[in-house]
Structure 1
Amino acid sequence: MPTPRRPLLLPLLCLPALLLGGCIQTAPVHRGETKVAPLTSSELAQSDVNRMATLGMRDNLDSLYRLLDKLYRRNPAEWRKAGSLSRDAAIQRVRSAIDSRAPWPELLGKRDIAALSLALSPDFKGDRVAAFIYASADMLIVAHNDKTEFYLVDSLDAQHIYNAARNIESAVWLLATRRNAAGQPLLLADEISERERNLSFEREFGKLIGRLDLLSEVLTEKYRRAVISYVQGLAGASFLQFLPVR
């Protein structure tokens, strides 16, 4: 009587699945996790929108600081123009100026969009990386009513936040398309070539623009919902009152 082959065939069929399962289990899958800031007493004076604006500003400045580091790595001649001893020293100098709202000497007293225009001028001779990042940060802070933290007594203009997002888009486009007197790009950033495909600058700028657009929409929706809630309150006052039963 012939021996059945099914018991021998089943392990052979399962073998690829077992090998694949082993590969999946050993592959690295950790990609970070969400972070929760410790609760502080100052948050008691913040609405949800205040907190969102505060976190958005923090993350946007962090994005600019990452871009500052990346641009210096791609354009090391820039940080040497100001006589900095190292790239890290140049980064710290720019961050300190932004945090303290101190004027940037090479921008000749200009602030906001005027400073951004000068930093992206083909004739600008100073440290363009520092000037560009400083001017971008200054423009963002001005759009947020010169604040980086927001509380119940503060107000934000949705149109100003929206305009700031468009300003960043324009700045990124100018950075990619303008040339200096020698016909070279103002700064080296993203690179697409046969050897390399580096779009990290575009992704970081995209995150910044996305946060600004989201905050602008939330601010607009906030006032719209306030009107709707007011109308609902009036309707409720007329139709949802308890009636006497005795």
Structure 2
Amino acid sequence: MRPTAAACSTMFAIVLLAACSSAPTPRGEVKGASASSREMGQSDTNRVATLAMRANLESLYLLMDKLYRRNPGEWKKTGASREEVVKRVREAVEKRQTWDDLQGKHDIAAMALALSPDFKGDRVAAFIYATADMIVTAHGGKIEFFLIDGLDAQYLYNAARNIETAAWMLSNRRNTAGQPLLLSDEINAAERNLSFEREFGKIIGRLDLLAEFITEKYRRAGISYVQNLLGGSFLQFLPVR
């Protein structure tokens, strides 16, 4: 026996209601950092810059892990385990040490060497270290910021453009054997993996937003100064007795 139109409508309504009432898939939740006494020496701008720096470094460490998964031959060049190389890179970045394969070079000079076609060392470690070092350099050589620290908006803007250039080189430049410098994003008939591009995009977005925030801070300071001058003359209560 075929179901009637009314029965079909009732079944459809039940399925639709069940779909609407089901809970959304959890995707995590925003979490703030634990309060510390060090924050007493930070302005709002210092705190934003510190959080952005930590997020950008964590993005680079995530990219390092993803690059090693796609290019396992790179960490094997070092003779150490992947975990050990990752630990060394983190320490070198956060303690402002040099990286042997980069011949003592830092920031954009180190990036240029890490992305050169004839580079022979562990390119993943060199690239992540050099990129992180460039970002830290753009922030005045610091990872954490306090009231005595200042940031140059143009350097932050330039750092964002450097990330864009590095991401393009990684996708398009070839080594001396004609192969990609490193395997990263992949688009083919069976797979569409743009996770590397998305992570680079997050770093670029944070740098651009911080640069604009720093610029806005000084612009607003000028406006506030003028407002205070005007307020001193025109926005005062007058005596009534």
| Deviation of the 1:102 alpha carbon | 1.4
| Deviation of the 1:34 alpha carbon | 0.5
Map of 2:139 onto structure 1: 144
Map of 1:71 onto structure 2: 67
1:87-109 CA distances to partner (integer Å, 9 max, x unpaired)? 22221121121122111000001
Identical residues among aligned pairs (%) = 64
Among 108, 112, 117, the alignment partner of 2:107 is 112
Amino acid of the residue matched to residue 200 of structure 2?
Answer: F
| 1:14-29 correspondence to structure 2 within 5 Å | 14-26=10-22, 29=25
| Deviation of the 1:27 alpha carbon | 6.1
Amino acid of the residue matched to residue 47 of structure 1?
Answer: S
Amino acid of the residue matched to residue 29 of structure 2?
Answer: E
How large is the Cα RMSD of the aligned pairs?
A: 1.6
User: Paired residues, what number?
Assistant: 238
Amino acid of the residue matched to residue 38 of structure 2?
Answer: S
TM-score (norm 2): 0.94
Map of 1:35 onto structure 2: 31
1:157-201 CA distances to partner (integer Å, 9 max, x unpaired)? 000000000000011111111111111010100000111110000
SS of the residue 1:222 aligns to: helix
Amino acid of the residue matched to residue 46 of structure 2?
Answer: N
**Matched residues in 1 for 2:165 and 2:197: separation?**
13
SS of the residue 1:71 aligns to: helix
Task: State which drifts further: 14-23 or 53-62.
Answer: 14-23
Q: Which runs of 5+ in 1 are unaligned?
A: 1-7
Larger radius of gyration: 1
Whether 2:233 is the aligned partner of 1:230: answer no
TM-score (norm 1): 0.92
Whether 2:214 is the aligned partner of 1:219: answer yes
Amino acid of the residue matched to residue 245 of structure 1?
Answer: V
Residues 94 and 143, structure 2, Cα contact 8 Å, conserved in 1: no
Q: Which runs of 5+ in 2 are unaligned?
A: none
| 1:40-189 correspondence to structure 2 within 5 Å | 40-84=36-80, 86-189=81-184
Amino acid of the residue matched to residue 52 of structure 1?
Answer: V
SS of the residue 2:132 aligns to: helix
Amino acid of the residue matched to residue 104 of structure 1?
Answer: W
Residues 1:12 and 1:184: Cα distance change in structure 2 (over 3 Å): closer
**Matched residues in 2 for 1:164 and 1:221: separation?**
18
Residues 107 and 130, structure 2, Cα contact 8 Å, conserved in 1: yes
SS of the residue 1:209 aligns to: helix
